[in-house]
């Protein structure tokens, strides 16, 4: 009897939600980087007629402990914040995550996933994530094709895929950063070529393998500015299995290189997008930041670690075609010189990289918002409106002008 009463109550709840009131969308923060990806979508959705937007966290925690590097994003998060214990009991049509999180709504709602980085097939295929969520706000139609090859029929009935792109990269794709101002503010000569070194945090990444050596080698070579950054976990430890003592030693080594060379800067706490905008060449590893840089069609030098294995071989092929690789530290400077001397040499590969990881460059946030608005008051895959959502997801492209009506 109790089960039948609960089912009836849920049915009545869904009946009202799909017919009355605004579309209600909850964005779940797992970490600051994930929220940076959600923020562009929230900005486009907030204030639209017929849409209510809220934010919460993946688990109960004091709001004062939530650290967001961008003050504007912090203001945006707090303006829409709801405590997760209350939010879990409220009625939402969609709950949007950038991670597999501990938050789960108590009432029926569509669960949507969006990327917290512009990559897939590197450390994992993300097919299992698409199987777990009702809707997947994906990077491109190419990504959908790969998913469907790996799991035929995945998006036929109970899962929907929308090729929106990567909203966090919209300002970078729109070329909103001033290269000269960025370098001048860092005390560097903007007339010189600028090289940016990035690194993932995991074993096999540039800093994990070579420590400060790439930074020192490029600074010693001279003739260019050299910027060093990396994943935030590299600097403080305790996350990702990194020990604080190792991180402290790495930071000290990088600081020592910076002090030796007036044209070198170690920048652990700045957002990567302005640094990418200032760079004439990127030195990267398997981090997905490379796909962001490909939006500018500038040369990329890739640490092709022979011990690293991509989750999907076709993604490794794309990385290789877009870059000038090196496998040992002794090949780094020569690879950079070669790449700067022939900046168009890998243009076709960079184009394929953009097409694979970035639908709607510069407009992904507005397209994602339009998709959510078009999904509207649907709150379950076997309920009212789901057939319309599936039909929407089957369109070959998702651009805002295609989503009206």
Task: Note the pLDDT of residue 28.
Answer: 97
Tell which wins on pLDDT, 131 or 232: 131
Beta-carbon neighbour count of residue 317 at 10 Å? 13
Is there a contact between 325 and 302 (Cβ–Cβ < 8 Å)? yes
Cα–Cα distance measured from residue 306 to residue 162, given in angstroms and rounded to the nearest whole number: 34
pTM of the model: 0.93
Cα–Cα distance measured from residue 137 to residue 144, given in angstroms and rounded to the nearest whole number: 10
- In this predicted structure, the answer to whether residue 4 has a pLDDT above a threshold of 90 is no
Is there a contact between 289 and 276 (Cβ–Cβ < 8 Å)? yes
Cα–Cα distance measured from residue 173 to residue 196, given in angstroms and rounded to the nearest whole number: 18
- In this predicted structure, the answer to whether residue 68 has a pLDDT above a threshold of 90 is no
Compute and round to an integer the Cα radius of gyration of the chain. Answer: 22
pLDDT in tens, 299-357: 999 999 999 999 999 999 999 999 999 999 999 999 999 999 999 999 999 999 999 99
Beta bridge pairs of residue 326: 303
Q: Report residue 124 as tokens.
A: 């994992």
Task: Note the pLDDT of residue 402.
Answer: 52
**For a pLDDT cut of 90, what percent of the chain falls above it?**
85
3-state SS, one letter per residue, for 269-283: CCCHHHHHHHCCEEE
Task: Note the pLDDT of residue 269.
Answer: 87
At residue 32 the predicted structure's pLDDT band, cuts being 50, 70 and 90, is: confident
- In this predicted structure, the answer to whether residue 238 has a pLDDT above a threshold of 70 is no
**For a pLDDT cut of 70, what percent of the chain falls above it?**
97
| Domains detected in the chain | 2-166+359-402 (3.40.50), 176-357 (3.40.50.2000)
> Integer distance in angstroms from the first to the last C-alpha of the chain?
42
Q: Mean pLDDT for the chain?
A: 93
Alpha-carbon separation of residue 219 from 10, 222, 234, 271, 309 (angstroms): 63, 6, 21, 22, 30
DSSP 11-40: HHHHHHHTTSS-EEEEEEESSHHHHHHHHH
Q: What is the mean pLDDT of residues 221-230?
A: 96
pLDDT in tens, 376-395: 999 999 999 999 999 999 88
Q: Report residue 262 as tokens.
A: 């007036």
Q: What is the mean pLDDT of residues 21-38?
A: 94
Q: Would strands 194-197 and 281-284 be described as parallel, antiparallel, or unpaired?
A: parallel
332 sits in which H/E element: helix 332-341
326 sits in which H/E element: strand 324-326
- In this predicted structure, the answer to whether residue 400 has a pLDDT above a threshold of 60 is no
Is there a contact between 316 and 304 (Cβ–Cβ < 8 Å)? no
At residue 401 the predicted structure's pLDDT band, cuts being 50, 70 and 90, is: very low
Tell which wins on pLDDT, 248 or 240: 248
Beta bridge pairs of residue 282: 196, 300
């Amino acid at each position: 009897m109790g089960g039948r009463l609960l089912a009836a109550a849920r049915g009545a709840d869904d009946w009202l939600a799909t017919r009355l009131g605004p579309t209600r969308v909850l964005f779940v923060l797992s970490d600051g980087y994930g929220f940076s990806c959600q923020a562009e979508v929230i900005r486009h959705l907030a204030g639209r007629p017929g849409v209510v937007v809220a934010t919460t966290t993946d688990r109960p925690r004091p709001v004062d402990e939530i650290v967001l590097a961008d003050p504007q994003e912090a203001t945006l998060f707090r303006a829409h914040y709801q405590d997760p214990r209350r939010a879990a009991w409220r009625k939402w049509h969609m709950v949007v995550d950038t991670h597999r999180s501990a938050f789960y709504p108590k009432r029926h709602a569509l669960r949507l996933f969006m990327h917290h980085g512009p990559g897939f097939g590197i450390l994992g295929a993300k097919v299992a994530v698409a199987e777990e969520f009702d809707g997947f706000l994906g990077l491109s139609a190419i990504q959908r094709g790969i998913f469907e090859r790996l799991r035929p029929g995945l998006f036929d009935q109970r899962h929907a895929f929308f090729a929106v792109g990567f909203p966090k990269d919209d300002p970078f794709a729109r070329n909103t950063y001033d290269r000269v101002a960025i370098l001048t503010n860092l005390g560097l000569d903007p007339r010189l070529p600028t090289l940016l070194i990035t690194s993932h945090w995991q074993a096999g990444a540039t800093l994990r393998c070579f420590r400060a050596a790439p930074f020192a080698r490029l600074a010693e070579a001279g003739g260019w500015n050299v910027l060093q950054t990396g994943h935030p976990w590299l600097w403080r430890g305790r996350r990702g299995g990194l020990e604080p003592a190792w991180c402290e030693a790495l930071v000290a080594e990088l600081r020592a290189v910076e002090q030796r060379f007036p044209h070198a800067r170690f920048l652990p706490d700045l957002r990567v997008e302005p640094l990418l905008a200032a760079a004439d060449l990127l030195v990267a590893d398997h981090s997905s930041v490379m796909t962001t840089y490909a939006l500018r069609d500038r040369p990329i030098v890739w640490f092709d670690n022979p011990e690293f294995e991509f989750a999907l071989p076709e993604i490794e092929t794309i990385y290789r075609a877009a870059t000038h690789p090196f496998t040992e530290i002794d090949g780094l400077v020569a690879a950079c010189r070669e790449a700067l001397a022939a900046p168009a040499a890998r243009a076709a590969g960079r184009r394929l990289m953009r097409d694979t990881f970035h639908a709607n460059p510069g407009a992904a946030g507005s397209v994602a918002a339009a998709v959510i608005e078009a999904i509207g008051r649907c709150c379950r895959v076997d309920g009212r409106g789901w057939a319309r959502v599936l039909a929407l997801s089957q369109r070959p492209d998702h651009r805002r002008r295609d989503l009206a009506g």
